[in-house]
Structure 1
């Protein structure tokens, strides 16, 4: 017990204390800047940083998240300060903390994760734009306006009336922030915001520039209890809920995001929301800004090596010590430098990475609408607009119906309807079905997980009309029999069909969900006491796959008509049907060690590969022969070692003699690459040589020259799961040319 305690304290001293100092250096300038953007006393930012670190750090559910004043809440706070005054805003913060506390106690935290990230990212981007526009006026020596539109309108006049020293300090601060990430790593150990403010302050003091300065020496110790807001209580309640929900959502989403950056204890969302609630009650009572989890400080905490909540707590302690003992030093910081810091932060809040993420899921409209509405209408209105659009898009996706039609070779029309069939999709469904020609033979696949009465009536009426006009309709339901049950008058299922677990047949046995061994009922005459992997796989095939592929195999049972002869290695990691996306009857496959094709008349004599080539080209009439090698081939390693690696396997040593021509070609064309990656280069050259070996057979060469047969070389990189084209050593109708193989050749 004592040893564990000593180990814990040693870990804290080694990891958490240094990390807390880094976060402290980041937190001080950001807290001052956010307080300035919020229209609050600058001391309120430091109070929020202290409370967020100590209270939220100690009581929250995340081990490494750092809380404090958040830029995303500044737009709400500045509006509350203008409407109710600062002390009433503190009361709203206190009440919002109580709401968060209640929500956390009642385990409501996970509900916040239902908010679309596109709305959150759009809101934060809009807040960033508004902060940047408002503080740009301060950088230029003026004052910010009440709205983003007003700031844009007043900007040309502000630029025309520049204030030299103030503008110089702002530009210097932004320049340092922009260039800091390009400096050596040792220099970047000092956080960029702190470095920028120090450079600006020292430069202004050295040259005696006329700038606006801030003094916190007296205001830190001043305190007055918050007062109740005066005005319409409906609006006050709405403000309390807005602060509570925005701060709570930002904290919870931040904690989830930061969980992916460390390997420690996972976050308890309800405890986190409870801790945030207590912290907001305390910061409101002490006259601080609202508190939330902050991604910038949390990321800096993780990157600095923090392991436990002690880092966040200690960072709050350092901020408190600084505010009480060194608050006088803040008067050296120019106000324009803080404004420039805010402009830089605001621009960074428009994160292009977030735009790319939401674009991949078709949620850019939600992002843009939220961002535009927040800028033009206000924070609450913008968030509501974004949520409404996100809900509409989600409803559209849930009710979207796809109808795919294709005509088979025998003239039958194959139609697949996918999605959740509700009355909302009936117009599209009816339009697509009416385009089917009268009298056509139709195979209708219903790949659906729900069907309401309106959708059933649409499909059933079309079917009756189509059959009345002489057509035929064969319906196959891939999930539950929604149509069949409705047509028979049986009771329908009350909810959507649960999705079936994917049949992950491509995974190795060792990586599939293990099942306990069980006694075996003999399978096709086999016997055994315990079911092995192969018999279990056969049973799985009979249960899941056989019903789906039986029609195909029934047709293939009469005759095989492959189009490709596929020669590849016997290596267990190579699955021809998987890497070529081919199906039953497509590939006539030959597998051997090293994917070797013995040259005509070579020793030791081998008829198995020759027999397969003859049968494929002269009986089956394939039009392509593919040789597929792979990375790290053991056979080629044996060839490269001169047979030494074959050890005491005489049969293998004799077989590998067929690879001597590959080794000779490798030495001739790639002799300067005998070291470093030689094996994989030989594996590629071996594919080229086997294509040459195929042409030593007269019938094969004649078909190639007649244009009836094509040779293709493939190389499968196992590590990256990528298939590459390998060019032949000589074109089909040309003389042999030297060709160096590179890793980029023919990459799909």
Structure 2
């Protein structure tokens, strides 16, 4: 127990303490900036940083995530402060925390992840633009307007009335932030926001610039308990829910993102949401800003090497110590420098990487609609518009149908219908199917995940008309059997994802209910049977499997490099690639009656197996030779019968002589326990005997002794579909040269 504690303490000292100092240096300027953008007392940002570190860090479900005042909530807070006042805004924060706590207790965190990331990123981008536009006026020496549109309209006049010293300190701050990312690694150990504020403050003091100073007088001593907001309770509760949901979603998405940055325990999202709720309740009661998981601080924490929640908690302690002991230094920071930091942060919130990601999934409209709505209408309105558009895009994708047709070299028409077949796609579906010439032979693939009655009627009616005019239609369903079930009158329940038919790739032809060998029943009632199962199987391979495996075979065409020589029985029920989950190029396979390995120089001379062994070990350089037997082996039954069962098969009788050693071993070891399982026991003993026979080959024995080659015995129980390992027995054979 003592060792564990010492190890934990040592890890904290080595990893978490340095990481907490890095996060602390990032958190202080960002917390002040968010408070300024929110129109709240600057001390409220530091209070939220302390509570986010200590309370959320201790109670949350993520080991590395750092919580604090978030820029994404600044617009909501600014609107609440203007509408209800600061103390009432603190009460809204407290109530929002209670809502988050209840959601976490009732394990509703996963539901928050259903919000489209395009909407979330669009919201943050819109908030970033609004922050940048408002704070740019302060950098220029003026005052921000009430809305983003007003700030944009006012900007030309503000540029015409530049204030020299104020704009100088603002531009200096932005310049340092932009250049700092390109500095050498030792220099970048100091966080860019801290370096920018230090340089701007020192320059303003050294050159005696006329700038606006931060006033913190009385902010840490004039605390009062939050008061209930006055006004329409419907709007107040809507504000509480808005703060709770926005902060919760941002925290949970941040938790998921941070999990990919470290190798520690994964985040418990419900615990994280509950911890955020308690932290917001404490922050609201103490007069702090609403807080959430913040990606910038969390990324800094993970990259600095944090291993546990101790780093997050300690960063909150450092912020508290700074606020109490060194809070007076904040007054040296020019307001214009803090505003310039917010302009830079706001611009960075418009992340081009997010736009590329959502573009790949066709969600750019939701991103830009949300962004525009936040900028010109407001945060809540922008998010609602974005969510509505995201839902419409999802509905459109769910009902989108694609029909692709091509003419094969043999003149058959091959059509593939993809998507979800609903009544909304019937016009497109009917138009494309009727474009297929009358009388043509058609292979129709249904690559769909849903089909309603209207879509079924459209396809079935087209098929009836096409076959009535002399054409043929073979329908093949690649996934669920929607069409086949509808034809047979089976009720479509559940409405989504009926029981899947097994994958055709490993089923025997006689067991396949669909595919080229057994198509859906045509209208005249007789199953469509191809002339040759193998030909039909080859057609299916060319159409469906070959495009998937062609890159692999293109690479393998140059050279084969199998790692295993696999010797098994010719029995049709044994499929080496199936029972070993191997693919092309993995196994160099030898199959014969009884999976026998003739001993070197044995009578009934046979070179086929010996040639394969030599080629595999001396040319291909395999690492393993596996002999695989199986239950109910006919060759072993012939041995047990003393050759009676092979009486009319002279070649079989000669070949089975190579199994006499297996029979002798079986009689020697199991002769006194013969029972109804004698055949399967002999099948197992035969595998071990063939492993011993392999060592009669000098090169094989040398490679085994040097550790370059390994022998493995497998036994496939056909009835239970289980593969068992059989250990080789110690070799007693003398190796022949």
TM-score under structure 2 length normalisation: 0.70
Q: In 2, are the aligned partners of 1:215 and 1:328 still within 8 Å (CA)? A: no
Structure 1 residue 539, shift from structure 2 partner: 7.6
Which stretch of structure 1 is more off in the superposition, 430-439 or 395-404? Answer: 430-439
CA contact (8 A) 2:480 2:500 kept: no
- Please list, as runs of the form range in 1=range in 2, the aligned pairs for 1:23-42 lying within 5 A after superposition: 23-42=23-42
Offset of 1:288 from its aligned partner?
Answer: 0.6
Partner of 1:261: 261
**Could you say which residue in structure 2 is the equivalent of 1:310?**
310
Alpha-carbon distance in structure 2 between the residues aligned to 1:350 and 1:592: 50
C-alpha displacement of 1:398: 1.3
**Distance in 1 separating the partners of 2:547 and 2:56:** 56
Counting only pairs closer than 5 Å after superposition, residues 211-610 of structure 1 correspond to structure 2 as 211-497=211-497, 554=533, 578=549, 580=551
Distance 2:140 2:429 in 1: 60
Deviations 1:92-150, CA, capped at 9 Å, x for gaps: 10000000000000000000110010100000001000000000000000000111110
Q: Secondary structure at the match of 1:202?
A: helix
Specify the alignment match of 2:51 in structure 1: 51
**CA-CA distance at 1:201 after TM superposition:** 0.5
SS at match of 2:281: helix
- Indicate the residue corresponding to 1:137 in structure 2: 137
1:153 lines up with 2:153 in the alignment? yes
Equivalent-residue separation in structure 2 for 1:653 and 1:104 (angstroms):
61
Label 1:102 to 1:504 Cα distance change in 2 as closer, same or farther (>3 A).
farther
The Cα of 1:500 is off from its aligned counterpart by 6.0
Aligned residue in 1 for 2:197: 197
Please give the per-residue CA displacement for 1:304-362, whole angstroms capped at 9, x wherever unaligned: 11111111111111111111111111111000000000000000001111111111111
Asked whether the equivalents of residues 95 and 240 of structure 2 are also in contact (C-alpha less than 8 Å), the reply is yes
Alpha-carbon distance between aligned partners in 2 of 1:345 and 1:558, rounded to the nearest angstrom: 60
- Given that 2:476 and 2:514 are in contact with CA atoms closer than 8 Å, whether structure 1 keeps it comes out as no
Contact 1:100–1:273 (Cα < 8 Å) also in 2: yes
Native 8 Å contact 2:481 2:500 kept in 1 = no
Alignment pair present for 1:91 and 2:125: no
SS, match of residue 168 in structure 1: helix
Query: Is the contact between residue 479 and residue 497 of structure 1 (CA under 8 Å) also seen in structure 2?
Result: no
Following superposition, the deviation at residue 478 of structure 1 comes to 2.8
Q: CA separation of 1:178/1:480 partners in 2, compared to 1, >3 Å: closer, same or farther? A: closer
Structure 2 partner of 1:690: none
Distance in 2 between the 1:186 and 1:251 partners? 31
SS at match of 1:442: strand
State the alpha-carbon separation in 1 of the partners of residues 558 and 213 from structure 2. Answer: 82
Give distance in 2, aligned partners of 1:226 and 1:559. Answer: 76
Deviation per CA, 1:575-618, whole angstroms, max 9, x where unpaired? 999454669xxx99796899xxxxxxxxxxxxxxxxxxxxxxxx
Q: Which runs of 5+ in 2 are unaligned?
A: 519-529, 540-545, 563-584, 586-612, 621-737
**Contact between 1:93 and 1:281, CA under 8 Å: does it hold in 2?**
yes
Aligned partner of residue 326 in structure 2, secondary structure = helix
Q: Is this contact kept in 2: 1:105–1:274, CA < 8 A?
A: yes
Q: Deviation of residue 487 (structure 1)?
A: 2.6
1:685-706 Cα offsets, whole Å, 9 max, x none, are xxxxxxxxxxxxxxxxxxxxxx
Displacement of 1:411 after TM fit?
2.6
Unaligned runs of 5+ in 1: 506-537, 561-574, 595-629, 631-648, 657-748
Q: What is the deviation of 1:429?
A: 1.1
How far off its partner does 1:3 sit? Answer: 1.5
Q: 1:651 to 1:339 in 2, by over 3 A?
A: closer
| Aligned residues of 1:217 and 1:328 also touching (Cα < 8 A) | no
SS of equivalent residue, structure 1 residue 404? strand
* 2:7 alignment partner in structure 1: 7
Deviation at 1:543, TM superposition (A): 7.5
| Alpha-carbon displacement from aligned partner over 1:351-404 (angstroms, at most 9, x marks no partner) | 111111111111111111111111111111111111111111111111111111
In the alignment, the residues of structure 1 paired with residue 287 and residue 399 of structure 2 have an alpha-carbon distance, to the nearest angstrom, of 49
Deviation at 1:6, TM superposition (A): 1.4
TM-superposed deviation, 1:479: 3.1
Give distance in 1, aligned partners of 2:320 and 2:501. Answer: 54
Task: Compute the displacement of 1:222 (Å).
Answer: 1.8
Closer, same or farther in 2 for the Cα pair 1:130/1:592, shift >3 Å?
closer
| Secondary structure at the counterpart of residue 350 of structure 2 | coil
The secondary structure found in structure 1 opposite 2:358 is helix
> In angstroms, what is the RMSD of aligned CA positions?
3.2
Q: CA 1:592 to 1:393, structure 2 compared with 1: closer, same or farther past 3 Å?
A: closer
- Aligned residues of 1:28 and 1:319 also touching (Cα < 8 A): yes
C-alpha separation in 1, matches of 2:51 and 2:27: 12
1:76 equivalenced with 2:76 (yes/no): yes
Deviation at 1:442, TM superposition (A): 2.4
SS in 2 for 1:219: coil
Q: Residues of 2 paired with 1:290 and 1:591: CA distance?
A: 63
CA contact (8 A) 1:259 1:267 kept: yes
Task: Specify whether residues 23 and 501 from structure 1 end up closer, same or farther in structure 2 by C-alpha distance, changes over 3 A only.
Answer: farther
